[in-house]
Structure formats: structure tokens, C-alpha cells
Amino acid sequence: QGSELSGWAMGRWTYEGIDLNHNFADLNTALWDAEDNDLVPHEFPNHYIPIPEYYTFANATVAPETRAVIDWMQRYPFVLSANLHGGELVVTYPFDMTRTYWKAQELTPTADDGVFRWLATVYATSNLAMASEERRLCHYDDFMRSGNIINGANWHTVPGSMNDFSYLHTNCFEITVELSCDKFPHASELPAEWENNRESLLLYMEQVHRGIKGVVRDRDTEEGIANAIISVDGINHDVRT
């Protein structure tokens, strides 16, 4: 509905009044509670965390769009993703929710913080608008001092974000890209926005080729093993085949 003059968050909610940006299941709290009680990973997983029962009830405040996306994520083993927002020029990476629940901002890294910082940096350094030497601040945050990337929770906490859900419930590593200072660019500006982001989108997608690849096979039959858990020393977050 129109421009920022009608409200910064205008258009964020669905017809049913649900903010999709906060609508995924909060798996962070369950993980952190289990960590505080020394239950991870022997009694509580550090990955593929199950969706809480309350979230699956028919009367739960979950948008059909959110349920559809979760079903999509469960059917396809995505490993890399990004969601695109507007209103700033910065790339954020998980966790998006602060570990101290009453804090609005708090550095809250994942066990794969180095990978997430790399992914965010790949996008930010190849984005023409973010990398421009003539760039000005969008609002009051100077993200240029940190290379135009920031831990999501260290900017502002977002419980129930898609990024955190992807990381804790699937194999997928997901970031958020704030594409432009203007939250509602005019149609005439879209070609320039495409040019700003074309190379960074391609370079970001190419990052799926980093890391270790292979097939986990049964020693006797040579058949591939689905859902085999792979652990890396020093990283308290496993993945599955």
C-alpha cells in the first residue's frame, strides 16, 4: 500500500494479519534450553530440531504461506538460500533471535559463524550499491564499518525467522539481503536494482560448490545411505545426507 509515508511496516502482514517475517517455529529457545541443561547432542539434537507440537495444531497462528514453505523445505534438501528484503543496504546472517530473550540486540552467532560471515561477505562485496565508494547511509546505522554485514540478532532480534528455522530444521544455510535504502522503489528503478544485484546473486549461488561433497555408502552393498548424520569436530551443528 503505497510508500513509506503510510508506515514503515505497511504491507508486512498478510490478509489474515500475520507477519510472515516472524511466523516460523521458534526452535532457538528449545535448543538453548537443552544446551543449558547439557542435553545436546546426546538427548537433544543440534540439527533437524523437530517442530513443536503446538505449532502443528490447526488453530495455531501459522499462515498457509508459511506452512507451504515449510513443506517445500522438508521435501527438497536445500543447502543454500537467501531471502530478499528492502529498506536498508546490508546482509544479515543467523542467528536472528537473541539468546537473552529480553534483549533487543545481542551478538548471537551460530556454530557455523565463519561460514555465514563468508556467505554474507560474498554478497556484500560484489553488490554494486553496497560496495560503492559514493554510498551514503540509508538511515542511522553505519554498516559500512563492518563490511555491510551483521549478525541478525546484533541488529534487532527476530523470533521465528526463516533463516533460523532453515538452519535448525534443515541442512540449509540462509541469509537475508536488504537490497535498497528505498523500501518501495519505482518501477523505473528496477533495471538498476537488477544490475546492482545480478553479479552478487550469481556469486552467492556459486558458493554451493564450496566445502566437502560426497556420498555416504553402505560398506557392504555400496548403496547410498539417506539421513546419515555427519559431524565435524569443533562445530556443534551436524548435517544429514
CB 152 within 8 A of CB 176: yes
The reported pTM is 0.93
Q: What is the pLDDT of residues 123-156, one digit of tens each?
A: 999 999 999 988 999 989 999 999 999 999 999 9
CB 178 within 8 A of CB 119: no
Q: Which residue in this structure is represented by grid cell 499462515?
A: 63
CA gap 8, 22 in Å, rounded: 16
The three-state secondary structure class of 231 is: strand
- Name the residue type at position 117: R
CA gap 33, 152 in Å, rounded: 20
Q: What is the pLDDT of residues 28-59, one digit of tens each?
A: 999 999 999 999 989 999 999 999 999 999 89
Q: What is the mean pLDDT of residues 71-92?
A: 94
CA gap 186, 90 in Å, rounded: 20
Q: Which residue in this structure is represented by grid cell 530444521?
A: 169
Q: What is the pLDDT of residues 178-204, one digit of tens each?
A: 999 988 889 999 999 999 999 999 999
The active-site residue out of 43, 178, 189, 193 is: 178
Q: Which residue in this structure is represented by grid cell 490478509?
A: 15
Q: Is 178 a catalytic residue?
A: yes
- 3-state helix vs strand vs coil in the chain, percent to 5: 35, 15, 50
The reported pLDDT for the residue numbered 1 is: 44
Percent of the chain with pLDDT over 70: 95
Confidence of residue 7 (pLDDT cuts 50, 70, 90): low
3-state secondary structure 46-105: CCCCCCCHHHHCCCCCCCHHHHHHHHHHHHCCCCEEEEEECCCCEEEECCCCCCCCCCCC
Provide CATH code, domain 20-213: 3.40.630.10
